[in-house]
């Protein structure tokens, strides 16, 4: 059974950066894509981008271009999402999810990132 | 504009049937890209409900079904149960965005 375990909650100051990790187990990490989706309080799901660990090439939503970096470390089966220049609107729960044939079949538990001065 | 439009809310009594629509455009659903559906219970991560327009992952009851036609897709839930009360999201690929796109979500209330 595939399991995605994310790092813990973070509180950040405006203008700083946050790095969220997502460790995969129970599956072949490199074979599928890994996406990142966020959900602001009381709001819907928003796709941020993704990466195929085998290829190492990320694909970012235009909204986050220049502010987000997604990487994957194959030896440790861990993916990372780094978001910089944080502002209050970035306060959200950030999810990683395995992407297979266009859909997200396994999800991490979510990481709450709070941006506050 | 690349948007997947869902009704903000739907409701139904236990045992009834409800449907949730997801309307897209020629750059996503209308272009032939698959539609997928997720269920999100309060305080939890989304769960895959339907993939590839009509397919249910193992463990999802057959009370849930999906369909797609033209630029729209629908999720149908029959024999509504209290435990179905949740937020539901559709998702597809959008060629204009070169990435995934989620609908705004629909809150299902079981009366």
| pLDDT tens for each residue of B33-57 | 999 999 999 999 999 999 999 999 9
d(CA B61, CA B79): 11
Residues of B in contact with A107 (CB under 8 A): 45-47
Closest CA to A50 of A74, A24, A69: A69
Q: What are the backbone dihedrals phi and psi of residue A30, each rounded to the nearest 5 degrees, phi first?
A: -80, -15
Q: With an 8 Å Cβ cutoff, is A1 touching chain B?
A: no
Q: What is the least distance, in Å, from the CA of B100 to any CA of chain A?
A: 6
- Report the residue of chain B nearest A104, measured CA to CA: B48
Q: What is the pLDDT of residue A74?
A: 87
CB contact residues (below 8 A), chain A span 84-103, against chain B: 95, 97, 99, 101-103
Closest CA to B76 of B38, B21, B5: B21
Q: What is the pLDDT of residue A53?
A: 80
Name residues whose C-beta falls within 8 Å of residue A44's C-beta, 6 or more positions apart in sequence: B87, B89, B102, B103, B104, B105
Identify any residues that bridge with A25 across adjacent strands, giving them in sequence order.
A3
Q: Which of B47, B48, B89 sits opposite A45 (nearest CB)?
A: B89
Contact B38 A104 (CB under 8 A): yes
Q: Is the pLDDT of residue A32 over 90?
A: no
The parts of chain B modelled with pLDDT lower than 50 are none
Alpha helix ranges (H) inside B7-101: none
Q: With an 8 Å Cβ cutoff, is B104 touching chain A?
A: yes
Number of alpha helices (DSSP H) and beta strands (DSSP E) in chain B: 0, 9
d(CA A114, CA A14): 10
Contact A104 B91 (CB under 8 A): yes
Number of alpha helices (DSSP H) and beta strands (DSSP E) in chain A: 0, 11
| pLDDT tens for each residue of A50-106 | 998 887 889 999 999 999 999 999 889 999 999 999 999 999 999 999 999 999 999
Write down the mean pLDDT value for chain A: 94
- Residue B57's alpha-carbon distances to A40, A52, B22, B38, in angstroms, are 27, 22, 20, 11
Closest CA to A21 of A93, A68, A58, A72: A72
Cα A109 to chain centroid distance, Å, stands at 11
- Residue A83's alpha-carbon distances to A22, A56, B66, in angstroms, are 14, 18, 35
Contact B36 A49 (CB under 8 A): no
C-alpha triplet B45, B75, B17: angle, nearest 5°: 110
Q: Which of B45, B87, B89 sits opposite A109 (nearest CB)?
A: B45
pLDDT confidence tier of residue A31, bands split at 50, 70 and 90: confident
Residues of B in contact with A51 (CB under 8 A): none
Q: Which of A45, A49, A97 sits opposite B99 (nearest CB)?
A: A49
Q: Which of B38, B93, B102 sits opposite A46 (nearest CB)?
A: B102
Q: With an 8 Å Cβ cutoff, is B93 touching chain A?
A: yes
Q: Which run of H or E residues covers position A66? A: none
């Amino acid at each position: 059974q595939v399991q995605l375990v994310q790092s813990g909650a973070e509180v950040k100051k405006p203008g700083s950066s946050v790095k969220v990790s997502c460790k995969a187990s129970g599956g072949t990490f490199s074979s599928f894509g890994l996406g990142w989706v966020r959900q602001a309080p009381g709001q819907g799901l928003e796709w941020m981008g993704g990466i195929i660990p085998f290829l190492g090439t990320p694909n970012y939503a235009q909204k986050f271009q220049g502010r987000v970096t997604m990487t994957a470390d194959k030896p440790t089966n861990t993916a990372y999402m780094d978001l910089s220049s944080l502002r209050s609107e970035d306060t959200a729960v950030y999810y990683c999810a395995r992407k297979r044939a266009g859909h997200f079949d396994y999800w991490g538990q979510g990481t709450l990132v709070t941006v506050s001065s | 504009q690349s948007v997947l439009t869902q009704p903000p809310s739907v409701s139904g009594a236990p045992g009834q049937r409800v449907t949730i629509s997801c309307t897209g455009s020629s750059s996503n659903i209308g272009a032939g890209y698959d539609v997928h559906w997720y269920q999100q219970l309060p305080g939890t991560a989304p769960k895959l409900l339907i993939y590839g327009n009509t397919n249910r992952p193992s463990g999802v009851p057959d009370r849930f079904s999906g369909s797609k036609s033209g630029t729209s897709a629908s999720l149908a839930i029959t024999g509504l149960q209290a435990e179905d009360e949740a937020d539901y999201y559709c998702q597809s690929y959008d060629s204009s965005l070169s990435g995934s796109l989620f609908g705004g979500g629909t809150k299902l209330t079981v009366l």
